[in-house]
Structure 1
Amino acid sequence: MRRIIKKILKKSPSSDQDGVFFDKIHTILGFKPTTLRYYEKAFTHRSANKLDDKGNQISYERLEFLGDAMLGSVIAAHLYNEVPSGDEGYLTKMRSKIVSREHLNELGRDFNLIQFVESKVNPQHFGENIHGNIFEAFIGAIYLDRGYTYCEKFIHNKIIKPYVDIAKLEGKVISYKSLIIEWCQKEKKSFKFDVYEDNGKEGMKFFGVKLYIDEKVVCKARATSKKKAEETAAKRAYFVFQEKISRKNN
């Protein structure tokens, strides 16, 4: 009889793992999670090939969509209350800076959420945006688990207070390409991003870009995607014309 009781009381490996997972999530949240399966789903990559009881694929992608909406709404309300003089354009631009892919990736890395991801893919092959994607999914999981009030509380305490400095964000550039295009249009300057394949000896596909302003090449760049190459070229162009652009904006 004693042996039977011991077996019943003995924790299984899975329950031990759940306990560790619970403790880590609790530490990040600052309050107790109630339904761990939401958080487990938030860190499940589609490559894990998991299905729910209805045969639907389990992955963080749907929660990522929900978390993006929740994050946007709380940030929008905060900006609306904190900057009463800001018009719609200003508020939209500031929200974009706070929830930019770069910033979301930073948040995901700071919370070390990658440690929880279940996947059959080597983490080195995820790409940088995995950090921001699972961060948004994590926000979605908080909403499903504890509701809007706790979700809002987490965003305020863990994101807005330590990371959101409105004065600094006002001067933050989120897209150098957009900034250069806007400046060229205001100054009646012609511009062109000439993108071409630039594959070297690395064994990877690269794209090169030449940025023409008034039919002169002002900057060149090279990256693993057209978007990154154009943004890098635009950033270099910004520093070439920074004084003129700043003077025009002021």
Structure 2
Amino acid sequence: MEDNDAMTYSAPDGSRLIQDIEKAGFYPQLVTDVVRDSLDGRRPVSHLVQLETHFTNTELHRHITALVLAEDVLHITHVDDQQYDEAGAETVARVSTETVPISQIRSVTLSYAYHQPEKYTPGTPIMELNLAVSWTGTQQLELYPAMCEDPDCQADHGYTGTAASEDVVMRISSEADGQDAVEGAREFARTLRRANVAPLTDSGAQLAQAPQHQGSARPEAPAPRTRFGHRHNGRDTGRTS
């Protein structure tokens, strides 16, 4: 297995990020251009790219999510494709992007799953990993009817469920994505957490740092930009560089 840091380290010129987008094979030129445009000149540090495929009775849907740590921000790109006409002869790609200052991230949550925990030993591979990142505090509700232990009970017991604060959630499993993808996702989460607890710069930002053992010295990160476009209307609010 290759070094985990190498899986998510974007390289100073962003070449590893582009390679992973191309490897996913989902409209790679489109996704690459969208990511580059949204980064707006920031240098990528670490990334996580995941392609998912979903089947329905009559349709096949794919979508790709790219999380990119770039200097003082976390950038999220999501692209999916849909049938444009009833006959399915044409397809439309729908793109959404968001850029969040690292300093505004509220939490980075990792959930693991291990197969046959009774046989666990140090180094046992993770079977499944869920990464949840929250920055707005929005509560995601999952509700379902409450059940009674009495199988003959016909009463309405209301609803039960869970509430989680999360803005982006990614599930990576060794069966679907491979063990390297699981380990890479964990390392990306570690890099994000380190950035999220890093000391604030003079401008009030937090900076993502590439792994220290990549072999060659890294140039100093440029001064962070302290203002960002409005996330709802896309207008520039006077970003300085």
Higher alpha-carbon Rg: 1
Could you state the TM-score of these two structures normalised by the residue count of structure 1? 0.22
Comparing both structures, which one devotes a greater share of its residues to helix?
1
Comparing both structures, which one devotes a greater share of its residues to strand?
2
